[in-house]
């Protein structure tokens, strides 16, 4: 007989594609988690783009999930992929009740668009379109377009994750062509270490591309980028990418169970 709970809670977010992807949330829920798949633009009455994002919206979602009677406390987990990776880091840094954060090919700075919180504006790290290269296939390579967050005024976009009271799992594709996620993850780890923190794990997957999805999802090598307005390369080699997705899922499942205190209520993983 299945348990009535409570169960560990997870807030699940995706990137610049917008809308409401729910497949990862559905899979996690089958493994004993209460999951809120959170859309934040391009869905129903939400903003049409990311130009006016407010962290209060994400905080409200986090509080709703954390205080749900079926959710075990005291804190919840957050999964962010690509653009929502920095949203997950911001949420853990500035709002209470986050115990575990999974960042999948995210950025250690606020990427592209600014976000506000309680009247403070966190500027977005912008890119240089002149660095875009177009391959013979007509697909763009945008890996190096985002500015270095460690240089000059760009440092204002860095997220002070050392303030967060949670565990971090950074999952990184070595051949990410969307942006330099290995560099961003390494700098996030360096920042934590510099502040005497050891609350992190970092896993780098050689020859994996940007879109790390649940196991057995097809490898997406290129597709239309909503912000660029043309097809871009995501990187990766098919077999290596597939193996990375299998390993990643096992790590996410174990990480969340360890740091959210699953107890006897969480079902065992079968995928």
Residues catalogued as catalytic: 82, 176, 210
- Is the dihedral angle over the CA atoms 215, 216, 218, 219 positive or is it negative? positive
Terminal Cα distance for the chain, rounded: 21
> What 3-state DSSP class applies to 121?
strand
Alpha helices in 55-155 (DSSP H): 55-66, 83-94
Q: How far apart are CA 165 and CA 20, in angstroms?
A: 28
How big is the CA angle at 18 (ends 38 and 103), to the nearest 5 degrees?
A: 60
- Report whether 15 contacts 39 (CB < 8 A): no
Alpha helices in 120-197 (DSSP H): 181-194
């Amino acid at each position: 007989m299945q348990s009535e709970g409570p169960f560990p809670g997870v807030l699940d977010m995706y990137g610049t594609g917008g809308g409401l992807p729910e497949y990862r949330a559905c899979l996690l829920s089958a493994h004993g988690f209460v999951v809120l798949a959170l859309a934040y633009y391009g869905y129903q009455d939400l903003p049409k783009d990311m130009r006016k994002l407010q962290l209060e919206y994400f905080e409200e979602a986090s509080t709703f999930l954390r205080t749900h009677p079926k959710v075990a406390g005291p804190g919840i987990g957050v999964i962010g992929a690509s653009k929502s990776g920095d949203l997950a880091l911001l949420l853990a840094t500035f709002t209470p009740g986050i115990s575990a954060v999974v960042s999948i090919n995210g950025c250690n700075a606020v990427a592209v668009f600014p976000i506000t919180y309680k009247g403070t504006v966190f500027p977005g790290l912008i890119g240089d379109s002149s660095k875009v290269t177009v391959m013979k296939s007509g697909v763009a390579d945008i890996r190096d377009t985002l500015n270095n967050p460690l240089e000059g005024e760009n440092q204002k976009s860095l997220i002070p994750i050392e303030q967060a009271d949670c565990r971090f799992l950074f999952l990184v594709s070595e051949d990410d062509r969307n942006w330099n996620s290995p560099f961003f993850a390494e700098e996030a780890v360096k920042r934590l270490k510099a502040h005497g923190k050891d609350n992190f794990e970092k896993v780098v997957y050689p020859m994996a591309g940007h879109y790390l999805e649940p196991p057995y999802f097809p490898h997406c090598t290129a597709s239309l980028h909503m912000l660029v307005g043309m097809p871009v390369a995501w990187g990766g080699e098919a077999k290596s990418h597939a193996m990375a997705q299998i390993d990643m899922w096992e790590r996410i499942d174990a990480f969340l169970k360890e740091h959210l205190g699953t107890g006897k209520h969480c079902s065992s993983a079968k995928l």
